[in-house]
Amino acid sequence: ETGVTQTPRHLVMGMTNKKSLKCEQHLGHNAMYWYKQSAKKPLELMFVYSLEERVENNSVPSRFSPECPNSSHLFLHLHTLQPEDSALYLCASSQALAANEQFFGPGTRLTVL
Amino acid sequence: SQQGEEDPQALSIQEGENATMNCSYKTSINNLQWYRQNSGRGLVHLILIRSNEREKHSGRLRVTLDTSKKSSSLLITASRAADTASYFCATSYSGYSTLTFGKGTMLLVSP
């Protein structure tokens, strides 16, 4: 257990569905991250939040919408996804934005039909 | 691309043998980190080496850093079947507040 939980662990959705991924960290960290992990590709950083403010958005399509209501919770809202969005979505947190170590959740395996 | 590149992409060894993985990167770094990922799970931080350090140890792990060659290596000694996982290097670059990950090395340790 890393202190970072993600729900759901698995999600299958159609292209017209709307769903949300949830991440919660119990470590008192100030920075949270969403990553996308696809087969045979490097981990892609999607969004970064520091003290509930979005500080980085790496050209992610608007069908992905993050939300950080407080420093312990991070959501990724999904709508009208494409099959190529199927991947493992990982949430991570760190003590501060430039901190040395990131703590990862177990991920949500997303399949878009 | 600024991401690290791990080498080899895949490595298969027997229990008890040593495993060596390498990571190369392109620009000046603040630090370099190694993470492990068991199949379909999240990443777990293993070890961090700063740009002014040359070698670090943690249990059966030994990490070296050669900033002149922009490369790092991770050595796992006396490997066990439980070491089977993917290993990623992640670099923290000067002027950037986030990490950049490589594609990883998949290690298989057979009993």
- Residue A6 confidence class, pLDDT cut points 50, 70, 90: very high
Q: Is B47 on the interface with A (CB under 8 A)?
A: no
The pLDDT assigned to A90 comes to 97
Q: Degrees (nearest 5) of the Cα angle A95, A97, A103?
A: 45
Among A13-17, A81-85, A99-103, top mean pLDDT goes to: A81-85
CA nearest A50 in B: which residue?
B97
Q: What is the mean pLDDT of residues B74-91?
A: 96
- Residue B1 confidence class, pLDDT cut points 50, 70, 90: very low
Q: Is B68 on the interface with A (CB under 8 A)?
A: no
Out of A4, A90, A98, closest to residue B97 by CB: A98
**Residue B87 reports pLDDT greater than 70:** yes
Between CA B100 and CA B32 the distance in angstroms is 10
What is the token pair recorded at A55? 């500080």
Amino acid in position A95? Q
Q: Could B48 and A100 be called an inter-chain contact, meaning their C-beta atoms sit closer than 8 Å?
A: yes
Q: Is B86 on the interface with A (CB under 8 A)?
A: no
Between CA A46 and CA A38 the distance in angstroms is 13
* Tokens 């492990």 sit on residue: B36
Between CA B83 and CA B76 the distance in angstroms is 9
Q: Is the dihedral of CA A39, A44, A46, A49 positive or negative?
A: positive
